[in-house]
A = this chain, B = another copy of it.
Amino acid sequence: MKIALAQLNCHIGNFETTARKIIAAIKQAHHAGAELAVFSELAVTGYYPADLLEQEAFIRQAEATIQRIAEHCVGIAAIVGAPTVNPDERGKRLFNSACFLCDGRVTAIRHKSLLPTYDVFDEYRHFEPNTEFQLVEYNGLKLALTICEDLWDDQPVSNRFAKAKLYRTSPMAELSKLSPDLVINLSASPFSYNQEHWRKHVLVTQAKEYGLPIVYVNQTGAHTELVFDGGSCYVAADGSIPVELAYFVEDFRVIDTEHIVVSHPPKQERIAKIHSALLLGIRDYFGKMGFSDAILGLSGGIDSAVVCALAVEALGADHVRGLLMPSKFSSDHSIADAVKLAENLGIRYDIVKIHDAVDTFGSDLKPLFENRPPDITEENIQARTRGILLMAMSNKFGNLLLNTTNKSECAVGYGTLYGDLNGSLSVIGDVYKTDVYQLAEYINRNGAVIPQNSISKPPSAELRPDQKDSDSLPDYPTLDAILFRYIEQNQSAEEIIAAGFLRETVIKTIHLVNKYEFKRFQTPPILRVSSKAFGFGRRMPLVAKYSV
């Protein structure tokens, strides 16, 4: 059978554009001789609409869009992901469904059985799980329609308990009893650099276990924190993957299951993938929110340099503006490095000194401070003064402020609320400092964009004389290794110590992560590139007594 894999970038709630895109892909598939076009999970609404699924008008729009798309399925069938209403009077109101469109109408609907409800996933909040299994027959083939997690029945309850399995049922075990010829999987599987190998492992394992080929169609594009990387593919019954679509962009391919033509996109290294994910995350945040221009503070340090370079690649040099805001603690090289960066990138930049505003706050507050010695307060006033200046520029010119905090800082609370933690979007808040260095090297792969001095000098917040990050934090390779074990791998303090880290360093680090939960409660959305980003996927209580 000739099948089109339509890997699209959806926009939540933008039914008009989505319908046009899907219909265009169906026409393209039809012209190319395909009998079937396959789209991603919840393609009609975009993934994940969250509580918009509780609005009746939203569901009615999704239904109307499916009907409209169905009218174009003449001489070709399509499988499109959409929420559908549960006809039963018991259970949640919706199913997460694959709609089979044929002869101008919806001829079959199959529902998702395994609803992920961990990390960033909330599907059980809105959907009733499927418990009945049926194939769809079409043009002589029996198709097993599955949706994303349906193939992940064998996954462990957590990476700590690999033996215990999260799910009690196996959709493929049920469907295979009905002797299908082909498995279709509609996905909305977000990128994470440290778990992407699992996706292929699952597909290969399921294909081999049941001796069935799988047509896998994933979404691409970004929605707030989540970046979907695409990489749709055809998995043969022997577990080989002869066809793989592009990553981080829309793609379209017609395959003939009888005569597979091998094709793969160029391989990307880990850091190149993170780079692509962040570009897509920035581009879609701006594009889907209706903004074109960004502003950010340039300190001369590596974090703002990397974010600035990413923004320029995502939005164009004419759409990015830098603000240099030196204080009396800023070193000369900071300004020089920031200017060099802006010139290398060809962006507009301006310099505003903050000392007048900081001094004014100082004299305004002097009578209230009762001669208390300078402390973190004065450092925060500097960071917050910069925050005001950046937001003023954002308000006046209608551009969005990019946050430049990295994951290591974000974890240990090394940042000022309402100061450098401001922003519409945190670009590298899920990238550890050690990976920020690698990103900088990657960005410089064809010549120095980021000044070498920004990369090689010791990191400093420059909020007091001769301050260095290393004054109060362990070196970044050590810090990041501890953080990765605690956050991504969910290891305990004792486990991390047993792995060879100093007890004092481990305890101090974990203590800081827990102590600064309140700062992360109010920070911007963070582009997620790991298996555990701060934000929606990591739900820690604010008011609680933590044991470390």
> Could you tell me which A residues sit within 8 Å of B by CB distance?
11-14, 46, 48-52, 54-58, 61, 89-93, 117-118, 122, 124-125, 157-158, 160-161, 163-168, 222-224, 284-285, 288-289, 350, 352-354, 356-357, 360-361, 363-365, 367-369, 372, 375-377, 380-381, 384-385, 387-389, 391-393, 395-396, 417-418, 422, 424, 490, 492-494, 518, 521-525, 538-547
Contact = CB atoms under 8 A, between A and B. Distances in A.
B396 A369 contact: yes
25 contacts: A12-B541, A14-B544, A51-B540, A56-B160, A56-B492, A57-B493, A57-B494, A91-B157, A92-B166, A93-B158, A93-B161, A117-B124, A118-B125, A224-B541, A284-B543, A288-B545, A353-B364, A356-B360, A357-B364, A368-B393, A380-B391, A384-B418, A388-B388, A388-B418, A418-B418
A541 B56 contact: no
A223 B543 contact: yes
Query: What is the oligomeric copy number?
Result: 2
A288 B543 contact: yes
Nearest to A396: B377
Nearest to A18: B545
A279 to B, nearest CB: 16
A539 B51 contact: yes
Contact of A165 (B89, B167, B523, B524): B89
Contact of A395 (B55, B61, B375, B395): B375
Shortest 8 CB-CB contacts between residues of A and residues of B = A12-B544, A377-B395, A14-B545, A13-B545, A418-B418, A50-B539, A13-B544, A224-B542
A492 B60 CA distance: 12
Contact of A422 (B57, B393, B418): B418
A542 B525 contact: yes
Interface centre among A118, A388, A391, A422 (most CB of B within 10 A): A388
A54 B158 contact: yes
B395 A547 contact: no
A122 to B, nearest CB: 7
A64 to B, nearest CB: 12
A417 B391 contact: yes
Contacts of A289: 542-543
A413 to B, nearest CB: 13
A96 to B, nearest CB: 14
Given A56-B160, A223-B543, A361-B388, 13 more contacts: A48-B541, A93-B157, A93-B161, A117-B124, A284-B543, A352-B364, A354-B364, A357-B361, A375-B396, A380-B392, A384-B387, A388-B388, A521-B524
Contacts of A418: 384, 387-388, 391, 418, 422
Contacts of A545: 11-14, 288
A397 B283 CA distance: 42
Contacts of A380: 391-392, 395
A392 B49 contact: no
Nearest to A384: B388
Contact of A544 (B49, B90, B363, B391): B49
Nearest to A494: B57
Contacts of A284: 543
B365 A392 contact: yes
A166 B387 CA distance: 46
Nearest to A121: B125
A60 B197 CA distance: 32
A524 B525 contact: no
B372 A396 contact: yes
Contacts of A124: 117, 124-125
B52 A541 contact: yes
Contacts of A93: 157-158, 161, 164
A158 B51 CA distance: 12
Contacts of A372: 396
A423 to B, nearest CB: 9
